[in-house]
Chain A
Amino acid sequence: MPRLINLHPRRSSALALSALPFLLLLIVYIISSSLRLADNADDKLLPALGDLYSTFKQYALEPDQRSGEILLWLDTLASLKRITIALCISTTLSLFIGLCIGIIPLLRAAFGPFITVASMIPPLAVLPILFIALGLEETSKITLIVIGITPVMIRDLSQRCMELPTEQLIKAQSLGASTWLLIIRVVVPQMLPRLLGALRLSLASAWLFLISAEAIASTEGLGYRIFLVRRYLAMDVILPYVLWITLLAFTMDWMLRTLSRKLFPWAES
């Protein structure tokens, strides 16, 4: 019998193994739900799968009676727009600032400590300030996400820049590179896959900040909807919405990973 650490699953069994926790969760849910419903048919906490499905279908396909909008798409579009704009801003900012801090010692001395301190500010504590200063509209929500994830991304990226072997930088200089050429031909191309990596890692926080902002002040959005229906204990809406958000976040992560592999084949070790 080989040691446990040397037992590797085959491809097919790996797939089956990865499905296992999902199935287990599903089974536990079905059992608990049917037990509770058998006890009290009006129980709202763990609705039957059929109820979840029909509510989700209603939100996804039928126009809302009051507004005439299809709520799921209204919410999804609003949320995706906010998070996409915020992610674009954060990515651009962290590439520029991270690079400057990572490569240019003078700028590192000037702004490095500031970024370190800034990344310690709890972003949610700033939210009231944003609402006061920027109003309750889109700007403050997007800003919250940007403030929430950018400092960490900057720190990650500047760290990666500093990890570049000095041999590389010296070699490039001996080939006649100016600081500018060194940045565009040596540093940026190697930082782009790192940037996508940092972006993937901050997706979860980005969603957290999005939903927090939407929960507090909004008129549509996935987070807004969940917190709205919470008042009626509408678990049949909340649970499908949570699954839907998870699916969206997972898809974004998957797309970024695929993009990274396509664009930077050399970065796969």
Chain B
Amino acid sequence: MATLTVKRLWKEYGNQVVLENINLTVADHEFVTIVGASGSGKTTFLKMLLGIEQPSRGQLLIDDKPIAPEPDQQRGIVFQRYSLFPHLSVMDHVLLGLEFQGAPFVGRLFGTRRKQAVEKANEMLNSVGLYQARDKYPAQLSGGMQQRLSIAQSVICEPKILLLDEPFGALDPGITSDMHDLILNLWESRRMTIFMITHDVQESFKLGTRLLVFDKLRHDPQSPEAYGASITYDIPLRNGKKTQASAA
């Protein structure tokens, strides 16, 4: 269970205002899609949710507690690219989180505990269609497989909140539909809250239960950095795909 509350949030870099006065409450198990012009601060917002950037003013609360100022297991992240580990096989990627949590000193599991972890990982790999590729290294995977692996690696740790920054932006249009089914299925079965940035408005309507549009309310042509973006539209979506995915 995770409710996210954002109160009067501002973010500035030097004298450039990126985000101004963001207020938001997101209920548990919501699928929030975020769109907005390039440079409107979407990634910055996600970074603050993740804890790698701190707000200049305002508060970010998960279940009424301030968000930890560094990444932790509550919040999973899938970047557009570069987040896989070149030295780990597909199987090792999925095991990694379980090993971090199960073995804080050696970082590896042995014996029956490893067997249990491998079983869990196999199940995960099956559900993202990577079981056949479990001995391959990232360099041997296609772009779509890499993103599925990155998602699986985060989801197996059962984060309350999953953050996705244009996860399918670099993929062929042909395979994004498969990826949509995959993410909807995981969202349904694991009951996470998802925040996903996308450039594709259609995608945001198809996947989300709620759509946020980031844009500048005020604009000063003389000094464009004087005003930041806020949430200009907050649209609840009746998600048809949701019932479809749960029926499947």
B159 to chain A: closest residue by CB:
A174
Q: Are B50 and A177 in contact (CB under 8 A)?
A: no
Contact residues of A between 155 and 211, Cβ < 8 Å to B:
165, 167-168, 170-178, 180-181, 184-186, 189-190
User: Which residues from chain A contact B27 at a C-beta distance below 8 Å?
Assistant: none
User: Which residues from chain B contact A189 at a C-beta distance below 8 Å?
Assistant: 87
A170 CA to B82 CA, complexed, in Å: 11
A265 to chain B: closest residue by CB:
B137
A175 CA to B93 CA, complexed, in Å: 10
User: Which residues from chain A contact B105 at a C-beta distance below 8 Å?
Assistant: 180
User: Which residues from chain A contact B108 at a C-beta distance below 8 Å?
Assistant: 185
B20 within 8 A of A: no
B107 within 8 A of A: yes
A154 CA to B154 CA, complexed, in Å: 33
User: Which residues from chain B contact A266 at a C-beta distance below 8 Å?
Assistant: 86-87, 137, 139
B55 within 8 A of A: no
Q: Are B100 and A176 in contact (CB under 8 A)?
A: yes
How many residues of chain A get a CB closer than 8 Å to chain B's CBs?
23
Q: Secondary structure at chain B's binding surface: helix, strand, loop or mixed?
A: loop
Q: Are B82 and A185 in contact (CB under 8 A)?
A: no
Per a CB cutoff under 8 Å, which of A165, A173, A178, A264 touches B87? Answer: A264
Q: Are A171 and B73 in contact (CB under 8 A)?
A: no
Query: What 0/1 pattern do residues 183 to 210 of B give for CB contact below 8 A with A?
Result: 0000000000000000000000000000
User: Which residues from chain B contact A178 at a C-beta distance below 8 Å?
Assistant: 100, 104
Q: Are B72 and A176 in contact (CB under 8 A)?
A: yes
Contact residues of B between 70 and 87, Cβ < 8 Å to A:
70-73, 75-77, 79, 81-87
B96 within 8 A of A: yes
A160 CA to B24 CA, complexed, in Å: 41
A184 CA to B104 CA, complexed, in Å: 11
Instruction: Name A residues whose Cβ lies closer than 8 Å to a Cβ of B.
Output: 165, 167-168, 170-178, 180-181, 184-186, 189-190, 264, 266-267, 269
Apart from A176-B72, A176-B73, A176-B97, what are 18 other A-B pairs with CB-CB below 8 Å?
A: A165-B83, A167-B79, A168-B83, A170-B71, A172-B85, A173-B70, A174-B71, A174-B159, A175-B96, A175-B101, A178-B100, A180-B105, A181-B100, A190-B86, A266-B86, A266-B137, A266-B139, A267-B87
Listed A/B pairs (26) with beta-carbon separation below 8 Å: A167-B79, A167-B83, A168-B82, A168-B84, A170-B50, A171-B77, A172-B96, A172-B100, A173-B71, A174-B75, A174-B154, A174-B157, A175-B153, A175-B154, A176-B97, A176-B157, A177-B107, A178-B100, A180-B105, A184-B107, A185-B96, A190-B86, A266-B87, A266-B137, A266-B139, A267-B87
Instruction: Name B residues whose Cβ lies closer than 8 Å to a Cβ of A.
Output: 50, 52, 70-73, 75-77, 79, 81-87, 96-97, 99-101, 104-108, 137, 139, 150, 153-154, 157, 159
